[in-house]
Structure 1
């Protein structure tokens, strides 16, 4: 690992460590199940699309790492992630709420029918070069489904259009409504063009992963 990539990985670990304090509050799955009313209107509808900052499918969060969900909600709460809708929702949550929601969604995808195990899909030469340039595997793990720290997201099988929007958001600067503050991700994405980010997003989306959208009724 060269000096730039070593620095990048160190930044990622530091960010993960700094955001992990929400996990000190123990989450309760059953309590989380009673707190998802604001989540299911977007994340509980298969194929549902958001329109900000551009049209894209909302991310699948069932089966995502609970530690990552907690870290993401805290980042929205603090304004480190600037999506207006997500920030307003996150600001209404207590640390216990965040821990409960994280615990619920981490196990939620596992209650759905398991997908068949697929063989690893090797990247083409161009994508392999981009992955090496961004040092993606050092955080997100092999096949992008087993992060090296649970505070990092699983991205295998995630919607490609969402992944592209998320990656581009780390490039945004001095914008009150768009952008994500993460030093490691900023270093990784700013060296790549949007076309290159799209190629990465398409590859990650095509991998077999644990993420799902599990349809949830509005009235239970």
Structure 2
């Protein structure tokens, strides 16, 4: 296990360095991003909206998510490191500036000025506690699971449990042209667990207090 963690750490450092260098090149503008969300709001701007691929699950809450993570995720779809036909098609249509602007917009969307930051997450109990400790999830996502140690990592507290479950399984999927996520760190973590265990972890994380929201576009309210 220690050798695995050291190997994953090396991959982590390399990926963080590459992302940080790129992020410094393009600055996002939330106001500009507000004018570019037309292709996003049809799924991410409807409360409770469910996708049907690769299985039925709620689309992730992205308002309040870190800009660095949204940028990293969109670039991963664009490069094919995340295999999802719809998201790949959308990401392919975006320039680096578009991605930066959309990321800035969603990071600011739904934020409440002066809101108290989330404290430590409620401790997991039973089987979930054992699994979260084994995955060492807080070491990357923070003690509230909303304070990632690097901007390219997501806030996961309070994210839809069914989406988290599908996402975690995707890191285990290999050799599928339409499903899967290529990430050395998350792949190493997810492959330690059965799907039933991943679901247990996702259910715990989904119940936590969150900074994530679905903010409807005005015509959907």
Offset at residue 204 of structure 1 (A): 0.5
> For 2:77 and 2:197, how far apart are their aligned partners in 1?
27
CA apart distance, 1:188? 0.3
Match in the other structure for 1:107? 108
Checking the alignment, whether the CA contact within 8 Å between 1:83 and 1:177 is kept in structure 2 is yes
Which residue is 1:210 aligned to? 211
Q: CA deviation at 1:123?
A: 0.5
Aligned to 2:28: 27
User: Given the superposition, is the C-alpha separation of residues 61 and 115 from structure 1 closer, same or farther in structure 2, using an over 3 Å criterion?
Assistant: farther
CA contact (8 A) 2:82 2:180 kept: yes
Structure 1 residue 186 corresponds to structure 2 residue 209: no
- Give the paired residue count: 219
Superposition TM-score, scaled by structure 2 size? 0.92
TM-score in terms of structure 1 length: 0.92
Preserved contact between residue 119 and residue 144 of structure 2 (Cα < 8 Å): no
Greater CA drift, 83-92 or 2-11: 2-11
1:62 maps onto 2:63 in alignment: yes
* Aligned equivalents of 1:135, 1:119: Cα separation in 2: 15
Deviations, residues 6-34 of structure 1 (Å, cap 9, x unaligned)? 33233233323323414520111110000
Q: How far off its partner does 1:218 sit?
A: 4.6
Q: What are the Cα deviations for residues 185-208 of structure 1, in whole angstroms up to 9, with x where unaligned? A: 010001100000000000100111
| Alignment root-mean-square deviation, CA | 2.1
Q: Distance between the aligned counterparts of 1:142 and 1:136, measured in 2?
A: 9
State the shift of 1:134 in Å.
1.6
Cα offset, 1:131, TM superposition: 1.8
- Asked if the contact 2:81/2:182 (under 8 Å) is kept, the reply is yes
Cα pair 2:118 2:146 within 8 Å, conserved = no
Report the 3-state secondary structure (helix = DSSP H, G, I; strand = E; otherwise coil) of the residue aligned with 1:154: coil
Unaligned runs of 5+ in 1: none
Distance 2:208 2:38 in 1: 30
- 1:22, 1:71 within 8 Å by CA — same for their partners in 2? no
Aligned partners of 1:55, 1:67: CA distance in 2, in Å? 27
Q: Contact 1:16 / 1:152 at 8 angstroms: preserved in 2?
A: no
The correspondence of residues 42-61 of structure 1 with structure 2, limited to 5 A, is 42-61=43-62
Task: Give the aligned partner of residue 18 of structure 1.
Answer: 18
Given that 2:83 and 2:178 are in contact with CA atoms closer than 8 Å, whether structure 1 keeps it comes out as yes
Q: Deviations over 1:92-150 (max 9, x none)?
A: 00000000001100011205996996773111132222122222111111121110111
Residue 86 of structure 1: aligned partner? 87
Cα distance in 1 for partners of 2:61, 2:35 equals: 19
